[in-house]
Amino acid sequence: MSHPGPDVRQLGRVAVLMGGSSAEREISLMSGQGVLRALREQGVDAHAFDPAQRSLQELKTQGYARAFIALHGRGGEDGCVQGALELLQLPYTGSGVMASSICMDKVMTKRVWMAEGLPTPRWLRLESGELQLDRIRAVPDELGLPLIVKPPREGSSIGVSKVMGYSQMQAAVDLAARYDPDVLCEEFIEGEEVTCAVLGQAAQAQALPVVRIRAPAGGYDYQNKYFTDEVKYQVPSGLPQAEEQEIQRITLRAYRSLGCRGWGRADLMIRARDRKPFLLEMNTSPGMTSHSLVPMSAQAAGMAYGELCVRLLTEAALDHDGRGATPAAGGPA
């Protein structure tokens, strides 16, 4: 249920960062325009800002008070922009530098989750020097078939292939390597795809309703994610209550273990044969387009799109706001 929000005039002049130079520029512009429109409708003094066309230094010289990050992919979601905003002392939405950087790299994310005992599909990384034919053809022996091949530092299903047989490995690796020097090969989990969004920070973080994704035979790829209405989304998910709660529980643990704040969205698979959920990745700057999943989930929890945008903006923060600047007594100077 909606309730009176904060006085948006106190938020000051707001830059909605959108566009950027990653492979996901097109989607970022769609997200950013949606956010910009919603914030203005809520009375926020919001303005579009494309870091691919303007220097971030202008954020300071033009009097911006905070930034809503609607950038996706490298340069926008990987800690780089977050670090620049830290140096400019300009509060921003979403996770800080370290969490953004780790989550952008699916290999590093998996390492954290494995250390925390969280379930994620088996995987191996092919480094740029390991892309010889004999090494590539050995991957299915280790992970089984089918398997997934993807660039570890891209999003929106860009460069992702499902490999059904040995003969498809080379083309899949070549495609992924166009986007990233390293290639992530991952066990394929046969089952249902779901996603779970989180709002907030640390102990106050809350999981939103789970969204069930029903993709056509072509799969939940870039085209189907953003440009068709072929994919069906179920929210409420219709999953048994115990399954929904378990997905929310491990998503919250996954979010906290990575040090995320503000908001995020985990993508998961539920294995058909035993209904076990597996974490695939954590998105720290999720999409905010008309097809996007976080607004859909928030709506199911009673939070309208505009209200969600204002909440995220209100929680904009810095990693380093003066806390921890002085070494603790007895600690290293």
Cβ-based burial of 116 (10 A; exposed 0-12, middle 13-18, buried ≥19): middle
DSSP assigned state of 240: -
Residue bearing the bigger pLDDT, 66 or 327? 66
Q: Is the pLDDT of residue 282 over 90?
A: yes
Name all domains of the chain by residue range, CATH numbers in brackets: 8-94 (3.40.50.20), 102-119+190-314 (3.30.470.20), 123-187 (3.30.1490.20)
Instruction: Say if CB 260 and CB 269 are below 8 A apart.
Output: no
Phi-psi group of 282: left, alpha or beta (phi > 0 → left; psi -120 to 50 → alpha; rest → beta): beta
Average pLDDT, the chain: 90
Single-letter code of the amino acid located at 274: D
Q: CA–CA separation, 32 vs 96, rounded Å?
A: 19
Mean per-residue pLDDT for 30-49? 97
Please give the residue that has the higher pLDDT: either 325 or 114. 114
Tokens 């003066």 -> residue: 322
Q: Point out the least confidently predicted range of 213-222, 260-269, 271-280, 323-332.
A: 323-332
Q: What is the predicted pLDDT for the residue at 5? A: 57
Residue 183 and residue 204: Cα distance in Å, rounded? 36
Q: Can you give the length of the chain in residues?
A: 333
CB count in 10 Å sphere of residue 98:
15
Q: Looking at per-residue confidence, does 228 or 156 come out higher? A: 156
For 64, the 3-state DSSP assignment is coil
DSSP 141: H
**Cα dist from 289 to 111, 175, 237, whole Å:** 30, 26, 20
Residue 328 above 80 pLDDT?
A: no
**C-alpha to C-alpha distance for 59 and 143, rounded to whole angstroms:** 47
How much is the pLDDT for 23? Answer: 82
SS3 150: strand
Nearest to 284 by CA among 97, 120, 106, 94: 94
pLDDT at 226: 46
Which DSSP letter does residue 94 get? Answer: S
Alpha carbons 38 and 199: distance in angstroms, whole number: 18
Q: Is residue 333 over pLDDT 80?
A: no
User: In the 8-state DSSP scheme, what is residue 317?
Assistant: B
Q: pLDDT at residue 42 above 50?
A: yes
Q: Is the pLDDT of residue 182 over 60?
A: yes
Pairing of the two strands 183-187 and 123-126: antiparallel
- Per-position DSSP letters for 250-305, written without gaps between them: HHHHHHHHTT--SEEEEEEEEETTT--EEEEEEESS---STT-HHHHHHHHTT--H
For the cut 80, the answer to whether the pLDDT of residue 213 exceeds it is yes
**pLDDT at position 214 over 70:** yes
Specify the pTM: 0.89
Q: Which of 82, 76, 96 is nearest to 29 (CA)?
A: 76
Tell me: pLDDT of 311 over 60: yes
User: In terms of C-beta density within 10 A (0-12 exposed, 13-18 middle, 19 or more buried), how is residue 285 classed?
Assistant: buried
* Three-state DSSP class for residue 242: helix
* Pairing mode of beta strands 161-163, 191-199: unpaired
Dist. CA 311–CA 324, nearest whole Å: 26
Q: What is the pLDDT of residue 327?
A: 36
Beta-ladder partners of 186: 123, 148
d(CA 258, CA 109): 7
In this prediction, residue 326 carries a pLDDT of 34
Integer distance in angstroms from the first to the last C-alpha of the chain?
50
Burial class (CB in 10 A: 0-12, 13-18, 19+), 94: buried
Position 324 confidence tier, pLDDT thresholds 50, 70, 90:
very low
Give the model's confidence band at 6: pLDDT under 50 very low, under 70 low, under 90 confident, else very high: low
Residues with active-site annotation: 24, 156, 226, 265, 267, 281, 283, 287
Whether 116 shows a pLDDT value over 80: the answer reads yes
Q: pLDDT exceeding 70 applies to what percent of the chain?
A: 90
